[in-house]
Structure 1
Amino acid sequence: MNSSVTIIYRFLRLLVEKLRLPVYCLVDCDPYGIDILTTFRFGSMQMAYDAKSLRLPQIRWLGAFPSDSEKYQLPQQCLLPLTAEDKQRVGGMLRRCYMEREVPYWRSELQLLLDRGVKFEIEALSAHSLSFLSDYYLPSKIRNGGYI
């Protein structure tokens, strides 16, 4: 983990602890995006020596969720098949002890990703309209508590 990532962690912690602002994470609906999210929430194994200051347990997953592909009726051409490497990464995340204990809903979304065998990028939500993400998706998720 480089120094710029450490600066981001510390900045986000400042927002949470001093200003009491909520922190939401919007990532691609793929194993890499979800792995970034888990690193922010639980810390990095590579940085375990500084785990307390390099994790944000308050961070909430705003999207994109595997269940969003059906909920928002994403076109088939927006869905990409999971690769063998993707499946292996998801399997590794599912085996992490904190997934069941601390964020079971994240685990169920990960299992859904694996079961469906498809992923998508945030941009896929723009299939409905260019402003769908900013005008509808994000405001409705925040307003209706559609984050986890």
Structure 2
Amino acid sequence: MCVCTNRFLRLLIEKLCLPTYCLVDCDPYGFDILTTYRFGSMQMAYDAKQLRCPEVCWLGVFPSDSEKYCLPQQCFLPLTAEDKKKAEAMLNRCYLQREVPRWRLELELMLQRGVKFEIEALSVHSLSFLSKEYITSKIQGGVRI
């Protein structure tokens, strides 16, 4: 993750008091991006306080969204052995249980189901579904973690 992006995001949050949402793929790598923005990078722990953005809320895509939005089976990919290993390692991070237990529950659900899917899977409904319905309903309905 680019340090410049984190610093820019930090600046937007501090100076403009903007609400900050993260929308990532429903896979362990998307989840890792999310946690890096919120808690900082493990590789740059020495600079985590300056780079982390604890205000970041996870807008989606949640593993539980697959049922809520009736995604068909062809949208899912099986988790690879590497995906499972990454997800299990993230479950061991102490801050997940302490600060955002719902994130942990969603990650556990992903592992339990053994599948992942990309943001683009939501376009199975329509090309504009993501921008006109999904994101709008999440923000207006307060459906974020």
Q: 1:49 Cα shift? A: 1.2
Are 1:72 and 2:75 an aligned pair? no
Q: Using the alignment, how far apart are the partners of 1:134 and 1:51 within structure 2?
A: 32
Distance 2:82 2:8 in 1: 32
Measure how far apart 1:7 and its partner are. Answer: 1.2
Counterpart of 2:45 in structure 1: which amino acid? Answer: A
Name the structure 2 match of 1:129. 126
Quote the residue 1:31 is aligned against. 28
* Number of aligned residue pairs: 145
Tell me how far 1:45 sits from its aligned partner. Answer: 1.4
Look up the match of 1:48: 45
The CA distance in 1 between the partners of 2:41 and 2:131, in whole Å, is 30
- Equivalents in 2 of 1:30, 1:86: separation in Å? 8
Shift of 1:122: 0.2
More deviation, 61-70/7-16: 7-16
Q: Give every structure 1 segment of 4 or more consecutive aligned residues whose post-TM-superposition deviation is greater than 3 Å.
A: none
What's the CA shift for 1:6? 1.2
User: Cα deviation per residue 1:126-148 (whole Å; 9 max; x = unaligned)?
Assistant: 00111000010000000001111
Amino acid of the structure 1 residue aligned with 2:136: P
Task: Tell me how far 1:54 sits from its aligned partner.
Answer: 1.1
Unaligned ranges ≥5, structure 1: none
Q: 1:112 aligns with which of 97, 103, 109?
A: 109
CA-CA distance at 1:14 after TM superposition: 1.0
Does residue 81 of structure 1 match 2:78?
Answer: yes
Deviation at 1:52, TM superposition (A): 0.7
1:90 and 2:91 correspond? no
Query: Partner letter of residue 89 of structure 1?
Result: K
Query: How large is the RMSD of aligned CA atoms in angstroms?
Result: 0.7
SS of the aligned residue for 1:25 comes to strand
